[in-house]
Amino acid sequence: MNRRQTLKLLAGAAAFAGSAATLGRAAFAQASPAFKLPPLGYPYEALEPHIDTATMNFHHRNHHNAFIVNLNGLVGKYPELTAKSPEEIVSNLGAVPEAIRTAVRNNMGGHWNHTFFWNLMTPGGPAMPAGDLKNAIEGTFGGFDQMKAAFKQQAVGRFGSGWAWLVMKEGKLTVINTPYQDSPHMDPVEAKPIIGIDVWEHAYYLKHQYRRGDYVDAWWNVVNWTKAADNFKRASA
Confidence tier at 21 by pLDDT (50, 70, 90): very low
Confidence tier at 187 by pLDDT (50, 70, 90): confident
- pLDDT at res. 24: 40
Spatial neighbors of 37 by CB under 8 A, at least 6 apart, are 60, 61, 64, 65, 68
Q: 115-125: per-residue pLDDT in tens?
A: 999 999 998 88
Q: 136-163: per-residue pLDDT in tens?
A: 999 999 999 999 999 999 999 999 999 9
Quick one: CA dihedral 57, 226, 154, 143, positive or negative? positive
Confidence tier at 76 by pLDDT (50, 70, 90): confident
Q: How far apart are CA 171 and CA 64, in angstroms?
A: 31
* Better-scored residue on pLDDT, 9 or 167: 167
Is residue 34 within 8 Å of 75, Cβ to Cβ? yes
Q: Which long-range contacts (CB under 8 A, 24 or more apart) does 202-208 make?
A: 202/55, 202/58, 202/59, 202/63, 203/55, 203/59, 204/55, 206/52, 206/54, 206/55, 207/51, 207/52, 207/55
Average pLDDT over residues 31-43: 87
Q: In the chain, what are the domains?
A: 53-119 (1.10.287.990), 131-236 (3.55.40.20)
Spatial neighbors of 188 by CB under 8 A, at least 6 apart, are none
- pLDDT at res. 197: 98
Tell whether the model's pLDDT for residue 13 goes beyond 80.
no
DSSP alpha helices (H): ranges in 32-163? 53-58, 65-75, 86-90, 101-119, 131-141, 144-157
Q: Taking the model in full, what pTM does it have?
A: 0.84
- pLDDT at res. 31: 54
